[in-house]
Structure 1
């Protein structure tokens, strides 16, 4: 496909030449396909005539467009297809036939009636890497709705979040949607590697609940390996102390001591080196067991000075710590570090600020070619391309 209004081509990314048929919406799938697009893949976003649900998730907005939608849909071209319309369904099937990768997050089995399930698509396109994202897998949980909040509740994450004597809380982001999107990419790249060796595609399946149980790492391991059911501890860590916010003269500072050396360095900076030699606090397991005795001793010193003074001294001594920033402060801090967190694909009034792809590659870096598309923005172009005969 070509677009005379598109910006000059960026250096070819590592996934350049791959076509992604993106039949996903909301977050997990679109986040995954955006990252693939950043790495050079050509992504065609297939939407219903009503559009991706997140187009209507507002506020906040930028130029009357949901910033939620804008955050996960750059570098894509949009075509609106009604799968109940014969002509549109034929176009969707042709796109799937030509694609290297297809990503979908319909309920398991939901695309079968349209001939767009893995078995149907792979019949005409045996090299397809077909990624299905669901909430609870394609077995007993196939009919369950897969929103991130539901999975946060049912996986056990909410039982870990909040104060010990308070109600459970959701995480501040859709953590399992993002995690599952990343797992989908890992599966897709593994399947592409296998295809390069064998010529055969395969079905990649990921679901939010499995990603959640894997992503809760030490907490799920506590149960499956140790028989311990973790419960919420506020900002405290079950296996480390200090590893939480501690009050200073003007606000909290996150302070961590992941090993005995870091704790000794912390005690030196605070002017209480004797604590590191106290048998109650000398080792990680001792500090964790005696946190209620140790915490007030550390707070007594910390409250004597402002948090940023402590921050600079502790970091210089090799102690990991940091203030609790707001989102704007977090972006600003990344800018101070030279991480250039904001990129702006598009030109003129179509330029849309976006958060940089977190992957850095020395030879084939991510590129930011297109702003998030309007609904069906590239429909005529894509339909014309799909109508052209192919030689394969």
Structure 2
């Protein structure tokens, strides 16, 4: 069972069923989150993706809940629009199957350690001789150009060494973000790097090797707003964007719950101070200009938290919407399933599968007017397409 879905179940209600990458062939030698997110995005854009798995399969197949063996929810959410080909790359015949596919592939994505790829004879130099047009993308822990090259890395480790756990500190205790965010940032970065390489290949006719290391990717992501005085080569620089790292930056407590609230511009703050019957506060030299508010952000947020306690969540939401001040309720994951905006945009798609039953998944958030994204098949069972691909290739 390859979990392909019929036209009535797939996303064919758009102007064209073919995405912008229709005809692009992708070999996916990745597992868990980082690589599969990248290749799924390519598949959503219409690419033909073959997922290469060992006989044990992607370990994420077993991430719970798993109502069907080796078909856990996280795996299903990360591997739609792919076919599964099981190969033992230590066997000559199976390795040759991969090499034959690589000769005709446009993209190969892997998160195996580069030294292991070279040991198998699958390094970039070897594959470029077979297919000079191949775009060869490695997504793994650390760049091969530094001393950490080849060290094992998972999301938790990269959140730690990449500065994110420190940024999330509460009362001096580092904390992880409750998401495999380092994996996902690197996966999305790999996606746009591959798209850039595909565009360049249209001019040069040649592929190239791409390296997307998690450590450097997360460090670059974190540093954008947090470089601070280090931007100007100051000795012992003060780093961190003050508003983002303020201990008072948090959801604010109302009379009966919490609310997300961020007056940002001078005009928004002026309207907020009017709502709380303190219109003269905007004249306070600490709050009258953006640069002054940045210096006094802790005082400002402390004051804001006291004001918000005076009304209920619903009262605040109505007042803030009327005043055009950015705000929102605190949604749980369960709340999102019934969210009116996501419902109106058809964000959660339902599919019926003979083995899995009803499957619900978020659609691609990208809306292309002429070559839309879509789901043509659900995540494959382990090895579901092995015989077909071995016999017929792409």
Same fold (TM over 0.5): yes
When structure 1 is superposed on structure 2, of 188-197 and 266-275 the one drifting more is 266-275
Q: Secondary structure at the match of 2:338?
A: helix
Equivalent of residue 66 in structure 2, options 55, 61, 69? 61
Structure 2 partner of 1:7? 6
Structure 1 unmatched ranges of 5 or more: none
Q: Secondary structure at the match of 2:261?
A: strand
Equivalent of residue 208 in structure 1, options 191, 214, 229? 214
Note if 1:383 corresponds to 2:390: yes
Report if aligned partners of 1:21, 1:99 keep a CA contact under 8 Å in 2: yes
TM-score by structure 2 length?
A: 0.89
Structure 2 unmatched ranges of 5 or more: none
Note if 1:370 corresponds to 2:377: yes
When structure 1 is superposed on structure 2, of 186-195 and 216-225 the one drifting more is 216-225
Question: 2: CA distance between counterparts of 1:330 and 1:230?
Answer: 35
Report if aligned partners of 1:219, 1:230 keep a CA contact under 8 Å in 2: no
Report if aligned partners of 1:24, 1:106 keep a CA contact under 8 Å in 2: yes
After superposition, the Cα gap between the structure-2 partners of 1:231 and 1:14, relative to the gap in structure 1 and judged at 3 Å, is closer
When structure 1 is superposed on structure 2, of 141-150 and 219-228 the one drifting more is 219-228
Structure 2 partner of 1:327? 333
After superposition, the Cα gap between the structure-2 partners of 1:377 and 1:264, relative to the gap in structure 1 and judged at 3 Å, is same
Question: 2: CA distance between counterparts of 1:4 and 1:144?
Answer: 36
After superposition, the Cα gap between the structure-2 partners of 1:95 and 1:345, relative to the gap in structure 1 and judged at 3 Å, is farther
Q: Higher relative CO (CA 8 A, sep ≥ 6), structure 1 or 2? A: 2
Q: Secondary structure at the match of 1:182?
A: helix
Question: 2: CA distance between counterparts of 1:205 and 1:56?
Answer: 28
Structure 2 partner of 1:151? 158
Report if aligned partners of 1:345, 1:369 keep a CA contact under 8 Å in 2: no
Deviation of residue 55 (structure 1)? 1.1
Structure 1, residues 322-370: CA drift from partner, whole Å, max 9, x if none? 2222111134326456232212355444452211111110111111111
After superposition, the Cα gap between the structure-2 partners of 1:7 and 1:162, relative to the gap in structure 1 and judged at 3 Å, is same
Structure 2 partner of 1:251? 257
After superposition, the Cα gap between the structure-2 partners of 1:147 and 1:300, relative to the gap in structure 1 and judged at 3 Å, is closer
Match runs of 1:272-291 below 5 Å? 272-291=278-297
Structure 1, residues 361-391: CA drift from partner, whole Å, max 9, x if none? 01111111111111001111111113x9xxx
Note if 1:32 corresponds to 2:24: no
Question: 2: CA distance between counterparts of 1:223 and 1:324?
Answer: 34
- Report the number of matched residues: 380
TM-score by structure 1 length?
A: 0.90
RMSD after superposition: 2.5
Structure 2 partner of 1:361? 368
